[in-house]
Amino acid sequence: MSAKILVVEDEEKLARFVELELIHEGYEVRTEGSGRAALAEALAGSYDLILLDIMLPELNGLEVLRRLKKEKDTPVILLTARDAVMDKVSGLDAGAVDYVTKPFAIEELLARIRVALKLHPRQDGNVQGVQTTSEGMLVWGPLTMDIPRHRVTMNGHEIPLTNREFLMLRTLLENMDIVLSRDTLLEKVCGYEYAGETNVIDVYIRYLRSKIDDVFDVHMIRTVRGVGYVINKWEA
Ligand code: CA
């Protein structure tokens, strides 16, 4: 499952444009046009990020934000009018992680979304679908990752992994259903000091797929175009 984004915008053309761009980037998107409906949806649903316009009918964006934050920690990026300095300040005070001023270039919005998702990974969905046993095992369907023994098996067959392949697989499994960017993976797998190319991540993904997906005929590691990689919950 890719990252889920709730777009709250009452200008229909703009909402539709943003929705299409986000879908094109591989996100799962829902749009709401009123503050009240948006708040209900944000509270009921499970979103990785909310894009929230401030000027909305029924309940304005800042009020939606304040009420949402009492219940949930979903990251919110505000869409504000140019020069609405007070809105920006109030919004950040109320817990928004960022804001984008209208009219915006879609590339800027997409970049801020990527940053927000990276800095605020979803908490509640973290290890759903992965069972973590007391012995430090991660279990994804037929695959078992024995962390202390540094051993990965699929249906009992051992899969030989290098240290970095192991770390990569572990990171993806521990962040089940969260799309991790190449930069995030790079930090986890190669460390902060790593100064090489981020495409080294693609290379490790290829190695992992050749050892797991290809051999055992599963579709474990998914590519989310323009975003990164994810392992979704095991589905039998
Ligand atoms: Ca509006």
Task: Say what the pLDDT of residue 132 is.
Answer: 57
- Residue keyed to tokens 């801020």: 112
**Separation of 63 CA from ligand 1 center, angstroms?**
14
Using the mean position of ligand 1's atoms as its centre, give its distance from the Cα of residue 229 in Å. 33
For residue 70, how far is its CA from the centre of ligand 1 (angstroms)? 23
Q: What is the pLDDT of residue 158?
A: 93
Say what the pTM is.
0.54
Q: pLDDT in tens for each of the 236 residues of the chain?
A: 589 999 999 999 999 999 999 999 999 999 999 999 999 999 888 899 999 999 998 899 999 999 999 888 899 999 998 777 778 888 888 889 999 999 999 999 999 999 999 888 875 443 445 655 556 788 898 899 988 888 999 988 999 999 889 999 999 998 888 899 988 898 888 876 667 777 889 999 999 999 999 988 889 999 998 889 999 988 76
Cα angle for residues 142, 143, 145 (degrees, 5° grid): 150
| Residues near ligand 1 ion, CB 5 Å cutoff | 10, 53, 55
CA 211 to chain centre: 26
- pLDDT, residue 133, reads 58
Separation in Å, CA 197 to CA 182, 190, 203, 222: 10, 11, 11, 21
102 Cα–ligand 1 center, Å: 10
pLDDT reported for residue 89: 83
> Residue 197 corresponds to which amino acid?
E
Q: Is 150 left (phi over 0), alpha (psi -120 to 50) or beta?
A: left
Q: Which two tokens stand for residue 65?
A: 């934000």
CA of 12 from ligand 1 middle (Å) equals: 9
Residue 86: per-residue pLDDT:
79
Query: Of all residues in the chain, what percent are helix, strand and coil, respectively (each to 5)?
Result: 40, 20, 40
CA of 53 to the centre of ligand 1 (A): 6
